[in-house]
Structure 1
Amino acid sequence: MSDQARRPRPRPRPRTRAGARSSPAGTPGPRVPGVLAQLAVVMRTPARAAQPLFAQAPRAWQRWLPFGVVGVFVVALLPVTIAVLTNDYGLGGGWSGALGVAQTVPLLLAVTRPMAAWALVLLSDTIGAVLLIHADRVAAHPWPWTPMGIVGYLVLMACLGLREPIRTLVGVWLATGAVGAVLGFFAPAGSVNTAALLFVLAGVMLVLTGALRGLGDAQQRIAEQESISEAERARRTLLEERARIARELHDVVAHHMSVITVQADSAPYRLSGMTEPVQEEFAAIAASARESLGEMRRLLTVLRGDGAQGADGGGGERAPQPGIDRLQQLVEATVRAGQPVELSLATGAAGAAPPAVSLSAYRIVQEALANVVRHAPGARTRVSVTFDENELLVLAVSGPAPDAAVELESSGTGHGLVGMRERVRLTGGTLDTGPLPDGGFRVAARLPLKTDTETETVRTEEGS
């Protein structure tokens, strides 16, 4: 039997990515991360000691950027340093070449091992300052740090600030100031002291780059915390769905146990000529069934988490659980709410399905229709329930939402699909969900009508 709502088929809507519908006109699209957030991702501290700067950047050019920048500075500073030391300071060509290489080439290590590069550069700059004390034309020139040395040192400070912790940066900054202060006692006459200048500039560079590094680390910690929270939320959702399914199955099992109790109690009255031992056996069966019912009620109280709930407070929980025979009413209620739904229900499906399978099939259809109403209101939906001797097939297919439809919920709790999976797993079936090429969504569940023991028994009988 079927119930159809005749409406024009909506046109497919544009899609932003696989499985996600685009935002309706007039509503804001997905939020684009800010520039600071993107910068923080790029500048996260490397995970290992020898890992290069920006090693965790998402793009290849970002990972190679530190090497390129440092390489440009080395290529530019090396000849300029040699020329300035020779021409302006009057230092010998051999010494100028050696100092130029010693003060610039170690900068290449700053990308992977900035502390080692800092030790080499500071040592080279200190030796250069000592040699320049006796240079011919040091008067009226910057000393102890040359302009080229200051530029290279600031590049080194930037690499340090992006990688090392605050305690290390403070130590590097104080060591720089201490070396400059000691060299200040040996300043040649007429030179321009640059120790204080480098001390201030190095501090500013360390503060700026250290703040950027801290931003990247904070962003990484936030991402890790969000991942942990998401995993915990998924786990909590799973447990909630399992508890809800257990509460519903209580009614199914309780019904069977009640039938066993009644049959065992009434057996001596219905069947004449029973011996005393047989009557005692039936009485023991009835007592065990009643005891099992009591244990199940206590278990249900724990699952509800409301042991103090009175008789009137749990009426909703004690209502009969729905099944396949209630699907027609469910679809009719959905159609009355304005959602076009077509139902195709195979004759005899309600009687062929065991109670647990029937309840699972109803809940799966209910969740599928609820998701369509929330995320694609107005989308044409087809629901079919068919069966054979081995399994029950539940299929719910929704088309794309009309262009004028507004998504009622942009995000959900995740209970829907989790509940479907748990119900299918409970019955030993399979579930297939996913988006369709035209913008719709598909939910297909196969629920076995027989347990593994029953199936094996049937096969054995057929084989014999």
Structure 2
Amino acid sequence: MSQHPPGALAALRELCTPAGPPTPLFAHARRPFLRRLPYLLAWLFLIILLPTSTMVLGKDYGMHPDVALVVALGQTVPLLVAVRRPLLAWAVAFVADVVGAVVLLAGPLPMDRPWPWPPMEIIGMLVLLLALALRERRRTLVAAWLLTAVAGAVFQSIAPERARGTWIVLVVIGGLFLLVGAALRERGDARRALAEQETISEAERAHRTLLEERARIARELHDVVAHHMSVITVQADSAPYRIDGLPDAAREEFGAIAAAARESLTEMRRLLGVLRSAETDGERAPQPELGRLPQLVEATVRAGVPVELTMTMPATDAALPPAVDLSAYRIVQEALANVVRHAPGAATRVSVSADPDGAGLMVLVVNAAPLQADVPPLETGGTGHGLVGMRERVRLLGGTLDTGPLPDGGFRVAARLPFTTEEEPSSA
């Protein structure tokens, strides 16, 4: 039985503890007017109720003017506090209302005047109950409503000849105000929680997209690196047969190089097995290259997008580094897919050319505004990662990427892919 008092005290302490920090009501509203509205209403009710309550309590109810002023201050000033601390404001006003009812009970009361709650007190208490409902938990609202009902019932039982049933009006209308205010508060909390969750989900989605695109690029570059490692293995294995008079030490060195290359290929295949998933089995096909751009452009034209292709490059693409060749193709592919999805029917120009200094490759994809803004997308496929994949490919090669809308409503994708990275000297 010794556990009951601490539990009761804890429950009482929880009821008396505000639900959150003393932020103003409607502080999360987007419009400035709504954020200032609680202050305006609080001052409006204070200006109206303070002089009215003082005059009515003094003249109509026969209360001493000084006492009437003190009671009216206790009932109305908390309206200003209710903007930030509605629970404290309601508690102070409730005590002032009870004190006012007791003072009126001690003296003569005109029989035609409502008691224990005069009309001004009912209006002020309803405003405070609404503010309380917009901030506090349900159990706190139930406790405030019960205290209001119990206080009215007690006064009714003490002096039934004086009671006019006004306490029932306060209990009924106050309960409605609490229900409406609680519903509005819970709806606002749900909307804010949903907005926060959407923000978190969007950040997680962007991070997951970035990781997926990096894994996809790593899978594609595996073929490029594996090709070079295979060449090293073949050259190291065949060197003793191609070079006459090779010393034994050199033969052993070539054998070690070949063994290390084969071991590296094995480890890379294991790494690729980790990067692949059940959904990426289709990516085991040979990787595309710039030589297949005409077929890509032809497929895009069949999808309803007029494309003009310009390639001012050497006749053969063999001199291009494989990573640059693959990345350039993927950038053009993703840019054309975006045009099909977001600007159907827009005239598009694709240009692939070498730098004037021959140190890199320039890729430019420019499309005009869509012919009709309400035309539905012609294609819903693609990687779905768009500019993220372009940015990652360019960053991997140490190049630059410039994307953005054009004044006429079109879009521009410009990438420069250097043939050598900063970590790879061009003289190597």
Q: Does TM-score exceed 0.5, indicating one fold? A: yes
1:243 deviates by 1.6
What residue identity is the alignment partner of 1:335?
Answer: V
1:411 deviates by 9.1
Partner of 2:84: 112
- Judged with a 3 Å threshold, the aligned counterparts in structure 2 of structure 1 residues 294 and 86 are, in CA distance, closer, same or farther, namely same
Are residues 1:366 and 2:343 paired?
Answer: no
Are residues 1:150 and 2:117 paired?
Answer: no
Are residues 1:278 and 2:242 paired?
Answer: no
Q: SS at the partner of 1:185? A: helix
Partner of 1:419: 389
Q: SS at the partner of 2:372? A: coil
Partner of 2:14: none
The 1-side partners of 2:378 and 2:53 are apart by: 64
Q: TM-score if structure 2 supplies the norm length? A: 0.88
Partner of 1:462: none
1:410 deviates by 11
Task: Report how many residues are paired.
Answer: 407
Mind listing any 5+ residue stretches in structure 2 that lack a counterpart?
Answer: 1-17
Q: SS at the partner of 2:21? A: coil
- Judged with a 3 Å threshold, the aligned counterparts in structure 2 of structure 1 residues 280 and 198 are, in CA distance, closer, same or farther, namely same
Report if the CA contact (8 A) 2:290-2:329 is conserved.
Answer: yes
Report if the CA contact (8 A) 1:378-1:405 is conserved.
Answer: no
The 2-side partners of 1:411 and 1:130 are apart by: 75
Partner of 1:407: 376
Spell out the pairing of 1:185-196 with structure 2 (5 A cutoff). 185-187=157-159, 189-196=161-168
Mind listing any 5+ residue stretches in structure 1 that lack a counterpart?
Answer: 1-45, 459-464
Report if the CA contact (8 A) 1:264-1:286 is conserved.
Answer: yes
What residue identity is the alignment partner of 1:423?
Answer: R
What residue identity is the alignment partner of 2:311?
Answer: L
Q: SS at the partner of 2:62? A: coil
Q: SS at the partner of 1:434? A: strand
What residue identity is the alignment partner of 1:403?
Answer: Q
1:50 deviates by 2.1
Query: CA offsets per residue over residues 376-396 of structure 1, 9 Å max, x none?
Result: 111011111222332222111
Partner of 2:422: 452
The 1-side partners of 2:39 and 2:203 are apart by: 37
Query: CA offsets per residue over residues 129-180 of structure 1, 9 Å max, x none?
Result: 1111244443232111111101100000011100111122122222222322
Partner of 2:8: none
The 2-side partners of 1:47 and 1:322 are apart by: 60
What residue identity is the alignment partner of 1:109?
Answer: V
- Judged with a 3 Å threshold, the aligned counterparts in structure 2 of structure 1 residues 47 and 241 are, in CA distance, closer, same or farther, namely farther
Q: SS at the partner of 1:111? A: coil
Query: CA offsets per residue over residues 276-328 of structure 1, 9 Å max, x none?
Result: 2211211221121112112222222222124xx9xxx95x5343211222222
The 1-side partners of 2:130 and 2:85 are apart by: 13
Are residues 1:328 and 2:297 paired?
Answer: no
Given candidates 311, 320, 333, the residue that maps to 1:345 is 311
1:332 deviates by 2.4
- Judged with a 3 Å threshold, the aligned counterparts in structure 2 of structure 1 residues 409 and 61 are, in CA distance, closer, same or farther, namely farther
Partner of 1:297: 269
Report if the CA contact (8 A) 2:344-2:378 is conserved.
Answer: no
What residue identity is the alignment partner of 1:365?
Answer: V
What residue identity is the alignment partner of 2:288?
Answer: P
- Judged with a 3 Å threshold, the aligned counterparts in structure 2 of structure 1 residues 338 and 411 are, in CA distance, closer, same or farther, namely closer
Report if the CA contact (8 A) 2:312-2:353 is conserved.
Answer: yes
Structure with higher RCO (Cα < 8 A, 6+ apart) = 1
Are residues 1:392 and 2:361 paired?
Answer: yes
Q: SS at the partner of 1:415? A: coil
The 2-side partners of 1:200 and 1:72 are apart by: 24
- Judged with a 3 Å threshold, the aligned counterparts in structure 2 of structure 1 residues 407 and 432 are, in CA distance, closer, same or farther, namely farther
Deviation larger for 402-411 or 354-363: 402-411
What residue identity is the alignment partner of 2:368?
Answer: G
The 1-side partners of 2:401 and 2:54 are apart by: 73
The 2-side partners of 1:279 and 1:160 are apart by: 88
Spell out the pairing of 1:134-283 with structure 2 (5 A cutoff). 134-187=106-159, 189-283=161-255
1:456 deviates by 7.1
Q: SS at the partner of 2:344? A: coil
Partner of 1:435: 405
Q: SS at the partner of 1:133? A: helix
1:48 deviates by 5.7
What residue identity is the alignment partner of 2:359?
Answer: N
1:186 deviates by 2.8
Partner of 1:319: 285
Report if the CA contact (8 A) 2:305-2:340 is conserved.
Answer: yes
Q: TM-score if structure 1 supplies the norm length? A: 0.82
Sequence identity (%) = 60
1:226 deviates by 1.5
